[in-house]
Chain A
Amino acid sequence: MLDLDMTPYAAFVWPAWGVSALVLAALVARAVIASRRWKRELERLEADAPSKAVDAPRPQAAQSAVGQPESPQVARSAIGPQK
């Protein structure tokens, strides 16, 4: 049977469960929001930079990007406002 009558300890049991629920919910919310935010940001950047080099080792990517003819576009999109 569901027993929700905590007398005489309601003042202790409910805050313990309530605060636990709140903190856990906050943890989950924070994790999910951060996850979404960086996922979106990464997708945006990868779409912007047409470089096939996203997964290649860093150095080559940096060098090839510098020398590419379309680099002005890349530069512009990097400057462009993005909220």
Chain B
Amino acid sequence: MIHTLSISDLTVSRGERLLFQGLDLRIQAGEAVVLTGANGAGKTSLLRAIAGLLRPDAGEVAFHDGDGNPLDERLARGRETHFLGHQDGLKTSRTARQELGFQCDWLGHVQCGLDDAVEAFGLAPLLDLEVRRLSAGQRRRLAMGRLVGSPRALWLLDEPMAPLDARWRAVFADQMRRHLDADGLILAAVHDPLPLPARTLDLGGLT
């Protein structure tokens, strides 16, 4: 299991534009880090670079287990990392049940915790609806289902709570707390502060 995520000397640019360089960050099990910065400062790109979806210009992203042994990058990402981006990755033509089931099975383990996910985010009434009938907030809750349904140590979250109302924000905060208690790691890009103790990494950026 991932115990430490360490980023050293990371440089990322998009096209001709340099987003940040020489970035260092270390997150340990049970720890949450909040990523702040202006729009376009590179929050999303940093998360994508950690998830291996974007190739950094320089620097290194490394994963270590509790004994300090390095983990294979591909396996750490393919088995231990959740990435929840702006887009929910849901197919509008399929039902919520099909989509949640696929996401949990694809990312998850032998026993997909579908019921836990349904219970955590109040998805039961949505399950038989096609995704196209769901509101933005409902879709986000459905996408969050995979965080609970297929447990993975590292959560990379990009504005996770943006479409949620106050009630579900509280529910999600609770889930994050549980994840940290279970020695999970969270790195979240947010505009509003997270409702739990977290370090802040400010990417700054032009205003």
Interface of A (DSSP majority class): helix
Interface set of A (CB-CB < 8 Å, partner B): 58-59, 62
Point out the residues of chain B lying under 8 angstroms from A58, CB to CB: 13, 16, 18
**3 shortest A-B CB distances, which residue pairs?**
A59-B18, A59-B21, A58-B18
Instruction: Give the size category of B's interface with A.
Output: under 10
Interface set of B (CB-CB < 8 Å, partner A): 11, 13, 16, 18, 21
Bound form: Cα–Cα A59–B20 in Å? 9
Closest to B21 in A: A59
Point out the residues of chain A lying under 8 angstroms from B13, CB to CB: 58
Point out the residues of chain A lying under 8 angstroms from B16, CB to CB: 58
CB proximity of A45 to chain B, nearest CB, Å? 14
CB proximity of B132 to chain A, nearest CB, Å? 43
Point out the residues of chain B lying under 8 angstroms from A59, CB to CB: 11, 18, 21
Closest to B16 in A: A58
Point out the residues of chain A lying under 8 angstroms from B18, CB to CB: 58-59, 62
Bound form: Cα–Cα A58–B13 in Å? 10
Most A-side CB within 10 Å, residue of B13, B16, B18 = B18
CB proximity of A23 to chain B, nearest CB, Å? 35
List 7 A-B residue pairs with CB atoms under 8 Å apart, sorted by A's residue number: A58-B13, A58-B16, A58-B18, A59-B11, A59-B18, A59-B21, A62-B18
